[in-house]
Amino acid sequence: MALTNLRCFQAYTSRVQACRQLLTGSRALTHFSQSVRMPRFCFCSSSELQMACSETGFLHTNCRNYHMELGNNLNSIMRTVQLHEEAGSNLKSNSKWTDEQIFLKKLNHLSSYKDISKLIHSLESLSDTMVAAALQRLCDVQLENSILKDPKVVMEDEVFTSLCFQLEQESPHLSDSGLVNALNALVKLRVDPWSTLMVRLVSESQERLDKSQMNITNLCVLAESLFRLEGPGCAMLEQIMNQVQSANLEDWKVDEMAMVYRVLQLGIGERGKYQDLLNKINNFTVTQVPQLSPKLTCTVLNALTVLDQTQALPLVIKLCKHSIRHVPHFTDDELINVLDAFIHFGHNDQFFTDALERRVNKCAFAMHPNTIAKVMEYCSKKRILSKTIFNVVAESFVYNADTFTTAQIAELVVPFGKLNYLPPSAPSFFRKLERILSTRFAQFQPCVLLNLLHSCTLVERYPLNFLAKVFNPYFLQQLQAEEPHLRKLVLSQLTQLFLTVTLECPSYEGPKLLPKYRVKSFLTLGQSLESLTDVQLFSRVKVGLVDLLGSRTYFASHVLTPYFYTLVLLSEEYKSIMKSTRATGEGREPQPSYTIASANVSGIGGVMISICIDDQKRFCANSHNLLGREAIKQRHLQLLGYDVVQIPFFEFEPLNTRSARLEYLHRKVFPNSYRLSW
């Protein structure tokens, strides 16, 4: 193995200047073929470099001129690299820095490019493993959302260019691991794939691949690099996957198994490709779950989510249960992936929720906004009203709101409305939200803003200061531009927002919603502001109502009102109930009875009776807390003059006898009258 010597160049200053003047003066780039695109790093030819360096006393392998084109300026960076050759190996380690583990430990604690460069520059030599690790760590600190933060600083640094030069020269002597990991890091750092360095590394990888001697880990790292370079059409990828499939699955380690999942997740396994391989791995992984670390658990769950492995539910459930013990140890990104898996596969576990509550309660003020938003999305989609989570998230938002993007703010606030919950810090929470809306209103996407404001009204927080902007034709045009055909859900939200301020905020005198943006009914196919009635629960209630009223004709279901809501309503024919007395047989006490008579009034006392049959889906999970959209419906019906009778599942379902159901319905529908007796 070769050693990279990173000694200082003070003793060679004059020679370096001579090389630079000679090479830049002669425009050494003209030797490249015109058919090849100019690489990000352009190297002068070895013959030119040998001739220049021989005049200054250098060996031709000791100097390399890197050119980078930045705008119209061409800057040259000179770096001297001296090679040690011992016993046929170009990479050897000496002194205390030869211990790779010590180097890697120090490297992993560095969080800036300057610190990494300083550490590398302090060494006399690096093994290929250390070079690859340094480049990988450089990726970790420099890449943010797959974007290189300071490309100019990195590319012009002489330590980086020295590493690139050494990798290019020593590619035949690199270990398999050093080769593929270095290539992977350079791909992530956006080094030009047509540069001499990248071409040599890919070519060397092809030669190693042809020998079929790479292990699973190196094959996976190489596959990831090639996929990023050339996409799924790369011919080498198929060769790699053939070797992966031919390997003995029983010999794989858990980290190798996770890497195969990650490779297939990139896109190689899309549209069912390599599904047979996936099925084998899924069946094998079930037995290996207890050995998985937090990172590997997250990796496998994320891959199963991306690949939509719904047929692997036994594995998914086992991984979800296994992840409970790792909740305190997941990084923010790992926790996001795990929550995505729970959401995607519809899994829910009370022990996981408990562990998540402890994590959020302890770390909410330090958690990344993305993680906070994902936790709230998980609670929202699973209808989990965790007061512990909601309370601490609301408190942390008051202090950290400025770090959230507009989309993250909406993802955080909407669950409060959906699950119909106000935290103890609600006054300060909504004051902070109002300030953000005032200063950043234009930054919100129209649909995101509408969803946010609509959610506020579900918990009786009315955004009166912003309704004039929402009902403004300009905003509605923006909304229509974002949603060309304005989905019915968007129109329903606009309509309910308008209905809310009309009924609950009579002091509002701003613009009204134009009739063309109003829907006729809140009950629509797909996403709807109203919930469909549970068929089984409705059937049982219907039988009880027939017993109570004497006939099916006296009530109707799915009645569309002029106020956009669909109701179970007592029929127009059931106008008035008149009390009468019926003679009874000997020895029996008289019982009150009722007959039906027509009158010009509706229901009892002139009030329309609306029956809300609320099944489990209308409440938060494992709770009797009504969802926001159901609460606002009942609130609006009461304001419109309806007598709302709520029949929740947890009260009606335990009633097992006809008489018990009849007694319950009578008490609910006619609480101030005698029990019916037909």
Regarding whether 234 and 161 lie in a shared domain, the answer is: no
Closest alpha carbon to 159 in 8, 40, 45, 2: 8
Per-residue pLDDT band at 89 (split at 50, 70, 90): very low
- Percent of the chain scoring above 70 in pLDDT: 78
Q: 52 with 60: CB under 8 angstroms?
A: no
Q: Which pair of tokens denotes residue 68?
A: 């980078």
Give 557-615 pLDDT, tens digit per residue: 888 988 899 998 876 555 444 333 233 333 333 333 222 222 222 334 457 889 999 99
Least confident of 303-317, 337-351, 586-600: 586-600
Q: How confident is the model at residue 617 (pLDDT cuts 50, 70, 90)?
A: very high
Residue 151 makes CB contacts below 8 A (sequence gap 6+) with 190
In a domain, 315, yes or no: yes
Q: Does 193 reside within a domain?
A: no
Do residues 179 and 216 both lie within one domain? no
Whether residue 220 is found in the same domain as residue 178:
no
Same domain, yes or no, for 179 and 219? Answer: no
**648, part of any domain:** yes
Least confident of 75-79, 145-149, 314-318, 517-521: 75-79
Residue 427 lies in a domain: no
The SS3 assignment for 5 reads strand
Asked if residue 434 belongs to a domain, the reply is no
- For 393-436, how does the pLDDT look when each residue is reduced to its tens digit (9 = 90+)? 999 999 999 999 999 999 999 999 999 999 999 999 999 999 99
Same domain, 247 and 166: no
146 & 251 share domain: no
For residue 145, what pLDDT is reported?
66
Q: How far apart are CA 360 and CA 538, in angstroms?
A: 39
Domain boundary at 271, 294, 320, which? 320
Same domain, 173 and 284: no
Name which residue leads in pLDDT, 253 or 607: 253
Instruction: Examine residue 452 and state whether it is found in any structural domain, yes or no.
Output: no
Domain final position from 173, 205, 237: 205
170 shares its domain with 29:
yes
Give the pLDDT of residue 606.
53
| Amino acid of residue 521 | S
Q: 438 in a domain, yes or no?
A: no
Q: Where are the alpha helices (DSSP H) in 401-486?
A: 406-418, 426-440, 446-458, 464-470, 473-482
What is the predicted pLDDT for the residue at 199? 92
Confidence bin at 46 (pLDDT 50/70/90): very low
Query: Domain span at residue 85?
Result: 1-188+200-205
My answer on whether 182 and 217 are in the same domain is: no
Query: Is residue 66 within 8 Å of 20, Cβ to Cβ?
Result: no
Lowest mean pLDDT among 168-177, 448-457, 603-612: 603-612
pLDDT digits 0-9 by tens, 97-120? 456 788 888 888 888 878 888 888
Query: Is it the case that residue 650 has pLDDT exceeding 50?
Result: yes
Of residues 507 and 575, the one with the higher pLDDT is 507
Mean pLDDT of 17-42: 32
Residue 285 lies in a domain: yes
H/E segment holding residue 614: strand 608-614
Report the number of distinct structural domains present in the chain: 3
Among 295, 320, 345, the domain boundary falls at: 320
Element (H, E) at 65: strand 63-70
One-letter identity of residue 261:
Y
pLDDT at 256: 93
The confidence band for 162, taking pLDDT boundaries of 50, 70 and 90, is confident
Q: pTM of the entire structure?
A: 0.78
How many CB atoms are closer than 10 A to CB 115? 15
Look at residue 70 in the predicted model and tell me its pLDDT. Answer: 29
Q: Same domain for 9 and 139?
A: yes
The predicted pLDDT at position 12 comes to 32
For residues 107 and 225, state if they share a domain: no
According to the model, what pLDDT value does residue 434 have? 96
Are 180 and 216 in the same domain? no
